[in-house]
Structure 1
């Protein structure tokens, strides 16, 4: 009897020890998906020459796809067969939606009940503050995603049909629509040229930027707009995301247009219309799609700096974009402005922001900055490249953008592993730390320490 009780106690203890929280489950799910993608990309018939990729290269490509980054060590068009490209496309779709969202879709299709643990996972995956209406949100996310991607694919297919055979145009339309909406930035145009051939093409530029903006602002914002149908009734979160998105897109476009106007390697040779389209495209895609219509290696140093800032900021929470998120940046600036004015509360648009949200915004920013600089230091040791080129690569990987100044294909094996880890951290890290901080125990001890000031500044 005693032995039996001991066994039960040990079993319960071991079960408690191996229990993992939603944030850990989310990270583990992404890791498993990456490993499966790696193995599939290593298959001989996944590559054109029938010689499988090395494990490091396959891992890099799979991580870039699942983390919707777009950085590549091999050219997607010339290296992979259609099977390999479809594997990448599926990884992008699952990575963009979130594996939990796809899992819930399968469960609903099979008529399974969605338990509390699964709802917690959905909340974590979609970066929601409340667990209410999770299943409805999943249905909306999936339906909306396929609807928007379908529209984008059809328009792009009609446009690409002018340049390619109809089957190829349809395939190109589907691939690039999924890649754009999920802010992945993968393309199959060949020779690492991305969208440089379409720098002045109004249809391609506007469709791709519309897809990445819609995907990047976050599903919560889209659902709020659909439900409220009135600017005044929109939530504070939605208003901040929309204002910041418009502001950053306009500022990015104006700066790139001004800085690159006479640059012979980028906008210089183009007409005014093409210059405007090229500047707009490059002003939008760093948050965080990774396509490029301009020669990245020819950008001025100032344009590279602007691009890095946009990549680090990223898009909206709960969407397919990366970066520290526009709401994080907005909250930090609002908090600093309130401090400068001597205000105790941080107020905006008739609302007061909770202090825990402000603390989390600063924590995410400091954490992200630390990760970027630590990675930068490591790569300055392993890679023989200028500091600005390495920093650009690091921020692009962390922000899950996919833009590169040409360093990615020349990375050392150690550099590839470091960037692979960074892409994973960029996709999962900020989200995970935000929820870890959000779910921290709010229990306060029955006492408080004596306050003492410290000189700063």
Structure 2
């Protein structure tokens, strides 16, 4: 063995393992510094700090900055393709932006006469620039660590549930900061509000505009956005887009969470989800701003904030509002039909699910390409596609339209001369449509729910149980599940041995899971109503049922019961909101050991049903 072979062997067997061990230790230090930076940032903006505390905070920021620079350097120098991690273009951009913070350290402040160089130096010397880069780098590191955790074969269901729990407790802590509220808030109300926001429910135990300051409301809307998109969706996007390729197992798990058809389209699916969310919320924000411009006595900044808050809250099906009395406030009840219609369509788009939005986008682009070919006289050569809409899209769109039409007609019928009395005809139809849309897990209020008839309340309970589409911001048993159950019922009544729709046969697994989801939902709901009846003996059964269904379906509507609940009652509602957002099936999959598939079958037998 020559000296070169000895050197290579020595490097591989002795040197590299120690280098990788040091890198691993350094990564843990980086994760700790990322958490320390975020905690310090929260402390700085959440409390009134003294001059000594400000000096300590600057020292922490500088220390974290040094650690991040060393971390980026170590990853670049000692990176190996063997660990499957490759820097993407955007990860290089982040590293370059981080290194640019060194410019003011390496070069002295230039004279103001050379404006270009002077303002460039001032920009990179800015405290806000450094904080923004450190914040972005911290989020990327923590997101990467969460996705890498999947590579350890940790149960994805438990990671999903745990991530929501972490965000909820962080949100509750942030809402208890002195700057987040006007007069303080109890821990149970902070936890209740954080859970309601993260689980995009909308139930509130305190009045939002009179309790939370602007900082507190911003925390709430951030929790809504995170909860609406999904914690794993955001962290997976950051890790895969900025931090490079992840392991095959990671990609399979994330793909299953977001219903991606292939690994090749995994990142594009994440981009679609974020892109659709920002685009729809942006369009909704513009329309809402136009609908309330110069009508509520707000400044331009307040109008923009109002529009942004309600657009995010509506698309994420959260139901939070900055107006006293929600959207039933007298300031918007008249001459604001465009506002109610816009909020309704934002709720619908957020509730049909991201896979349907992607399918609709693909269909729209298909017709645009067809028109392009037709304009050039080449339509006969256009590659035609037979099935533009997949089965899931057709079922969700048809069922959504049916429920909206029937719900609007029924509410208009029961409330025309009741809750809607005194309104103009156009307003009645708009509010009927709005109140048929909101039980699809949004929770906004335009008229007092206690003024509605019993028939309307029962209809709302049914709509709340059905909910929205899968892979959406909505809750409930999901409209896909409800459709499959109805199709199976119709097949049994007709004596058919197969469940078919649109010349497609539904799989046995889809039917079994749909029946199980509904049964599990009803079991949890029944147990919750029974427990709440003991904890809140003074409340009516209708109010308790409405509250429990609203919490479990993450709707946010209430018959004025939420603010008067006891601590134990609020705890039950918190648990229901968490189960409704994460999913009872998801929780059980994470807690119960799955049975291995076997290649044998037992003899079949029948049980007497009728």
Q: Does 1:395 align with 2:573?
A: no
Give the aligned partner of residue 448 of structure 2. Answer: 295
With CA pairs under 8 Å and 6+ residues apart, which has the higher RCO, 1 or 2? 1
Counterpart of 1:157 in structure 2 is 289
Alpha-carbon spacing, 1:236–1:440, altered in 2? closer, same or farther (3 Å)? farther
Instruction: Provide the C-alpha distance between the structure 2 equivalents of 1:217 and 1:76, rounded to a whole number of angstroms.
Output: 28
Check the 8 A contact 2:491/2:499 in 1, yes or no: yes
What residue number does 1:43 align with? Answer: 177
Matched, 1:314 2:471: no
1:71-121 per-position Cα deviation (integer Å, ceiling 9, x unaligned): 000111110001100000000001000111211332245343233344344
Contact residue 285 and residue 311 of structure 2 kept, 8 A: yes
Match of 2:357 in 1: 222
Contact persistence 1:198–1:205 (CA under 8 A): no
2:409 corresponding residue in structure 1? 254
Q: Which residue is 2:237 aligned to? A: 105
SS in 1 for 2:583: helix
Aligned residue number for residue 333 of structure 1: 486
Of residues 598, 604, 608, the one that matches 1:444 is 598
Q: CA deviation at 1:214?
A: 0.7
* Structure 2 residue 290 is the aligned partner of structure 1 residue 123: no
1:245 aligns with 2:245: no
**Equivalents in 2 of 1:212, 1:147: separation in Å?**
14
Judge conservation of contact 1:195–1:292 (CA < 8 Å) in 2: no
CA gap of 1:398–1:135, structure 2 versus 1, over 3 A, is same
Q: Determine the C-alpha separation between the residues in 2 that align with 1:216 and 1:379.
A: 28
The separation in 2 between residues aligned to 1:391 and 1:413, in whole angstroms, is 18
Report if aligned partners of 2:259, 2:355 keep a CA contact under 8 Å in 1. no
Alignment of 1:68-83 (within 5 A): 68-83=200-215
The answer (yes or no) to whether the contact 1:181–1:211 under 8 Å persists in 2 is: yes
Question: What are the residue-to-residue correspondences of 1:411-430 with 2, within 5 Å?
Answer: 411-430=565-584
In 2: Cα distance, 1:317 partner to 1:434 partner: 18
Report the counterpart of residue 234 of structure 1 in structure 2.
389
Deviation of the 1:195 alpha carbon: 5.7
CA-CA distance at 1:257 after TM superposition? 0.3
**8 Å CA contact 1:261, 1:275 repeated in 2:** yes
Long gaps (5+) in structure 1:
1-14
Of residues 131, 136, 141, the one that matches 2:268 is: 136
Q: Provide the C-alpha distance between the structure 2 equivalents of 1:67 and 1:435, rounded to a whole number of angstroms.
A: 19
Distance 1:356 1:257, change over 3 A: same
Task: Report if the CA contact (8 A) 2:237-2:267 is conserved.
Answer: no
Distance in 1 (CA, whole Å) between partners of 2:539 and 2:261 is 42
1: CA distance between counterparts of 2:280 and 2:196?
23
The farther-off stretch of 119-128 and 309-318 is 119-128
- Post-superposition offset of 1:279: 0.4
Q: Would you say the 8 A contact 1:289–1:402 is kept in 2?
A: yes
Q: Secondary structure of 1:198's partner?
A: coil
Q: CA deviation at 1:442?
A: 6.8
CA radius of gyration, larger in: 2
Q: Is the 8 A contact 1:332 1:361 kept in 2?
A: yes
Q: Which of 286, 301, 308 pairs up with 1:167?
A: 301
Between the two proteins, the alignment pairs up a number of residues equal to: 436
Following superposition, the deviation at residue 429 of structure 1 comes to 1.7
- Output the CA distance in 2 between the equivalents of 1:430 and 1:124: 17
C-alpha displacement of 1:48:
1.2
State the 1:389 CA deviation: 0.5
Which digits, 9 at most, give the CA deviation of each residue in 1:115-157, with x for residues without a partner? 3344344335435676662211001110111111111111212
The match for 1:24 among 154, 158, 161 is 158
- CA 1:209–1:343 in 2, change beyond 3 Å: closer, same or farther? same
Give the distance between the partners of 1:364 and 1:197, measured in 2 at CA. Answer: 41
- In the aligned structure 1, how far is the partner of 2:226 from the partner of 2:159? 16
How far apart are residue 192 of structure 1 and its match? 4.8
CA distance in 2, matches of 1:41, 1:90: 12
Matched, 1:206 2:206: no
Structure 1: how far apart are the matches of 2:391 and 2:330? 38
Secondary structure of the corresponding residue to residue 315 of structure 1: coil
Secondary structure at the residue paired with 1:158? Answer: helix
Cα pair 2:550 2:557 within 8 Å, conserved: yes
For residue 449 of structure 1, report the CA deviation from its aligned partner: 2.7
Rounded to whole Å, the distance in 2 between the matches of 1:238 and 1:248 is 15
Deviations 1:283-315 (A, max 9, x none): 111101110111111111110000010011000
Tell me, yes or no, if the aligned pair for 1:196 and 1:292 is still in contact at 8 Å.
no
